[in-house]
Amino acid sequence: MEKGPKKPSSQAREEAKSTYRLEDIAHLNYAEDLGDPGRFPFTRGIHPEMYRHRLWTMRQYAGFGTAEESNERYRYLLSQGTTGLSVAFDLPTQLGLDSDDPAAEGEVGRVGVAIDSVEDMDRLFDRIPLEKISTSMTINATAAILLAYYLVVARRRGLAWEELRGTVQNDILKEYIARGTYIYPPSESLRLLVDLIEFCCRFVPRWNAVSVSGYHIREAGSTAAQEIAFTLGNAETYVSQALERGMKIDDFASRLSFFFNVHNNFFEEIAKFRAARRLWARLMKHRYSAQEPRTQMLRFHTQTAGSALTAQQPENNVVRVTLQALAAVLGGTQSLHTCAKDEALSLPTEESARLALRTQQILAHESGVRATADPVGGSWYVESLTERLTLEAEEYLEKIRSMGGMPSAIQKGYVQREIQEAAYQYQRSLEQRERLVVGVNSFNEGRENRLETWRADPETEKRARRKLSELRARRDQKRVESALEKVCKAANCSENLLPVIIDASEALATVGEISSALRQVFGDHKETVVI
């Protein structure tokens, strides 16, 4: 067994710096800064009863290969107790490319399910009651198209859109910051985002039109405070854009949801969620004059940290995920995905996905965590961490506002540089063994991983291309061309794009064709290299 570092690690120094001091929280006003669960500023949770009244939604992010294969996994997860679906799309779908596009070669169905047309969406949700299940779709640049497909499928089944519950991520700014699956320039992407918010408010009122994502910002290497600040900074931009459109804050902001990472520092992560709720409530009430309590509530989904999973000794990931999931629950999440132990190696197998779900179920039904709302509230340590993260995030937000808001800060490279520096410092601490990761830079065994992992089917791409060829051969091509012309025409003016995208979806236009029609007007975004 290897010895630990002789000098105090950077992690130990961070923890020592953040230990409780009376002066850190002596100034807090209980009513203004903490309140009771279910009351402004919602530091202690958005519901008075929290999980005593209703458990969090248990989602397992899944999608691979064809729509039929993913549908089989969804129905399996539902049979095992999943209470919400979360769809992973492959890279071509995320980037507006059809499966037979030369640029899609080798990526079809690899990191998510391949969806080329509304017929694929229908197959994806075959024998799944859309009116009874909440569906989350991790999709951004093509969010309007994938939501249109979902709505067409629902209408074909005789369902009213008012019945549908779910979320499209539709958080385009973080793509320019941390993830990279953008298509159009930022201004045009923001126009599409607000079109979707406006449309959902009118026609799909129970749908979350945006899930503002700090998850990918944290996966890129940010600190907890940066995750809060950059996420809320993006949200501020979306709110401002919708207000400029003429929408009223209490009419749309309650349907903005959030998506956070939950990392390994157990107490800091609990405090992060509490600080984010407090900041959002203050922002809504004092900056935007929101009157409705629901508008002031920060509702969020949480996913355990994929970047914290290790390929070495992957069984240890079960412990990491359990601790992270517990932090999310103690922090008051509304929805949770637990990563599988093998996700550092491949997409999860059915067995590992089931174990990840069982982790949530054991927490919910055997641990006693649902017995009281905000069980860590009032802890001197947790309250001091909550206050520290609140102040650090506020400093970042003020800096971003002084630069003209998030789009300007992104354009100047400020946000990217801050994340890169945090990621560098974290990696440096690992390499110098100031921070220990069990099985990676300490407690190594020197044996190879023996897990049986998921393998992509090499025939997936061929099957997807064959279906596309058959679709194009039997559809009404003139109707498709007419629908795509209307998409171009609407993109050239200020009308909401969702109705014409829905019409194109019904005409069996593909993801690639609709995206290309928008590209003709909007153009492609070319990334600016920031030094």
Q: Is a pLDDT exceeding 70 seen at residue 529?
A: no
Q: What is the pLDDT of residues 484-511, one digit of tens each?
A: 999 999 999 999 999 999 999 999 999 9
Q: What is the pLDDT of residues 93-107, one digit of tens each?
A: 999 999 999 999 999
Question: Residue 3 — very low, low, confident or very high, per pLDDT cuts 50/70/90?
Answer: very low
509 in Cβ contact with 484 (< 8 Å): yes
Distance CA 184, CA 301 (A): 27
Angle at which helices 350-366 and 316-330 pack, to 10 degrees?
A: 40
Angle at which helices 186-203 and 224-244 pack, to 10 degrees?
A: 70
- Asked which of 4-13, 53-62, 241-250, 508-517 is least confident by mean pLDDT, the reply is 4-13
Amino acid 184 reads: Y
- 3-state class of 85 per DSSP? strand
- 3-state class of 338 per DSSP? coil
Distance CA 351, CA 319 (A): 16
Question: Residue 449 — very low, low, confident or very high, per pLDDT cuts 50/70/90?
Answer: low
Distance CA 301, CA 335 (A): 4
CA distances from 489 to 278, 481, 486, 522 (A): 43, 12, 5, 12
Q: What is the pLDDT of residues 206-254, one digit of tens each?
A: 999 999 999 999 999 999 999 999 999 999 999 999 999 999 999 999 9
- Give 472: exposed, middle or buried? Use CB within 10 Å, 0-12, 13-18, 19+: middle
Class of domain 10-431: alpha beta
- 3-state class of 124 per DSSP? helix
Specify the pTM: 0.93
Query: Which of the pair, 33 or 78, is modelled with greater confidence?
Result: 78
Expressed in angstroms, the distance from the first to the final Cα of the chain is 42
Region for residue 442 given its phi and psi (left: phi exceeds 0; alpha: psi -120 to 50; beta: otherwise): beta
Question: Residue 16 — very low, low, confident or very high, per pLDDT cuts 50/70/90?
Answer: very low
Residue 452: predicted pLDDT: 77
Residue 462: predicted pLDDT: 93
Q: Is a pLDDT exceeding 80 seen at residue 6?
A: no
Question: Residue 8 — very low, low, confident or very high, per pLDDT cuts 50/70/90?
Answer: very low
- 3-state class of 472 per DSSP? helix
Distance CA 357, CA 59 (A): 8
User: Of 240, 218, 238, nearest to 227 (Cα)?
Assistant: 218
Residues β-bridged to residue 256:
210
Region for residue 42 given its phi and psi (left: phi exceeds 0; alpha: psi -120 to 50; beta: otherwise): left
Distance CA 380, CA 395 (A): 23
- 3-state class of 304 per DSSP? strand
Q: What is the pLDDT of residues 328-384, one digit of tens each?
A: 999 999 999 999 999 999 889 999 999 999 999 999 999 999 999 999 998 989 999
184 in Cβ contact with 192 (< 8 Å): yes
Tell me the average pLDDT across 320-325.
98
How far, rounded to the nearest angstrom, does the alpha carbon of residue 123 sit from its chain's CA centroid? Answer: 24
Task: Quote the tokens at residue 372.
Answer: 């009281």
Question: Residue 455 — very low, low, confident or very high, per pLDDT cuts 50/70/90?
Answer: confident
- Asked which of 8-17, 446-455, 469-478, 521-530 is least confident by mean pLDDT, the reply is 8-17
208 in Cβ contact with 372 (< 8 Å): no
- Phi, psi for 442 (deg, rounded to 5): -160, 155
- Phi, psi for 213 (deg, rounded to 5): -105, 115
Q: Is a pLDDT exceeding 60 seen at residue 81?
A: yes
Residue 4: predicted pLDDT: 40
Give the CB-side neighbour count of residue 100, counting CA atoms within 13 A: 15
Handedness of CA 97, 101, 104, 110 (dihedral sign): positive
Q: Per-domain residue ranges for the chain?
A: 10-431, 469-522
Amino acid 499 reads: P
Q: What is the pLDDT of residues 402-431, one digit of tens each?
A: 999 999 999 999 999 999 999 999 999 999
Task: Quote the tokens at residue 93.
Answer: 């779908």
Residue 307 DSSP symbol: G
Distance CA 335, CA 135 (A): 12
- For all residues of the chain together, what is the average pLDDT? 93
- 3-state class of 348 per DSSP? coil
Q: How many residues does the chain have?
A: 531
Residue 165: predicted pLDDT: 97
| Strand duo 57-62 + 256-262: pairing | unpaired
